[in-house]
């Protein structure tokens, strides 16, 4: 589903990603962990065209995102990639002046071309899935952080994405709200949704991840099943990160 090889991203002289190789299978849940500044967010942004990169290749569901094709066909490539890959951020990023329903139906109506009735119908089903049917007419400000994040997940799902990227989706939430959001994410994983999750929630990583990738200073230092990587790490950088996180 996602195939990254030799990915290099620089900001001026700073090499933020220094040759990332990483693949994610259809239906797989990949968890990415690593210290702050190790390039996790930059990596996710390279996967959905939010960030250009200098070398290497990224292929998402057959769609190549190399810097050259992105330069030549930028608008078309970005439109396609954004319907295929959903993104959920730490800060929810809902449209503040729109209702929950309008937040969810905006993309399906304007990008996918669904008619309003069909988009509304889908949105109701998704709100039921994330446990927020009764909030359909609320505005984001009337919701808790955990509820806003569940709306953001419903909004991503409304596009029928092949993969969803989560960038620290619970790091702005208290423990109870964190649990409710992680539980929705675990349900998606059980239903076979392909996802990449950047998180410090090690319990989630243990229970839900198929593979854990450890980032350190712009490279993947270690990858494997959660039991191996988290309980019996082979790399010093992983041990250091785990010690500092716990």
CB of 119 to ligand ADP, least distance (A): 33
Residues that bind ligand ADP (CB under 6 A): 11, 14, 16, 34, 36-42
Residue 72: which of Mg ion, ligand ADP, none does it interact with, CB under 5 to 8 A by kind? none
For position 41 contacting Mg ion by CB under 5 A, the verdict is: yes
d(CA 152, CA 219): 29
CB of 198 to ligand ADP, least distance (A): 7
CA atoms within 13 A on the CB side of 22: 29
- What φ, ψ does residue 186 adopt, rounded to 5°? -65, -35
CB-nearer residue toward ligand ADP: 36 or 243: 36
Residue 27: which of ligand ADP, Mg ion, none does it interact with, CB under 5 to 8 A by kind? none
Q: Please give the C-alpha separations between residue 43 and each of 6, 164, 201, in angstroms, as whole numbers.
A: 12, 14, 19
Q: Which residue has the tokens 């191996």?
A: 228
CB of 76 to Mg ion, least distance (A): 28
CB 16 within 8 A of CB 10: yes
Residue 162: which of Mg ion, ligand ADP, none does it interact with, CB under 5 to 8 A by kind? none
CB of 32 to Mg ion, least distance (A): 10
d(CA 214, CA 236): 11
List of residues contacting Mg ion (CB under 5 A): 40-41
């Amino acid at each position: 589903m996602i195939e990254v090889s030799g990915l290099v991203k620089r900001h001026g002289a700073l090499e933020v990603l220094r040759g990332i190789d990483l693949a994610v299978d259809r239906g797989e849940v990949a968890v990415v962990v690593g210290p702050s500044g190790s390039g996790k967010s930059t990596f996710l942004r390279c996967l959905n065209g939010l960030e250009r990169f200098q070398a290497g290749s990224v292929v998402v569901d057959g769609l190549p995102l190399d810097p050259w094709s992105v330069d030549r066909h930028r608008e078309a490539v970005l439109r396609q990639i954004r319907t295929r890959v959903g993104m959920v951020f730490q800060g929810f990023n809902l449209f503040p002046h729109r209702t929950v329903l309008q937040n969810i139906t905006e993309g399906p109506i304007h990008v996918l071309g669904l008619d309003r009735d069909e988009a509304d119908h889908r949105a109701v089903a998704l709100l039921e899935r994330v446990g927020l049917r009764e909030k359909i007419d609320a505005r984001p400000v009337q919701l808790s952080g955990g509820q806003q994040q569940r709306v953001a997940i419903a909004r991503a799902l409304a596009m029928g994405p092949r993969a969803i990227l989560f960038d620290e989706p619970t790091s702005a939430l208290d423990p109870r709200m964190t649990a409710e959001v992680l539980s929705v994410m675990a349900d998606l994983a059980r239903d076979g949704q392909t996802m990449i999750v950047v998180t410090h929630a090690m319990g989630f990583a243990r229970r839900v991840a198929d593979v854990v990738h450890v980032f350190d200073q712009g490279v993947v230092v270690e990858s494997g099943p959660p039991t191996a990587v988290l309980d019996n790490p082979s790399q010093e950088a992983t041990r250091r990160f785990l010690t500092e996180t716990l």
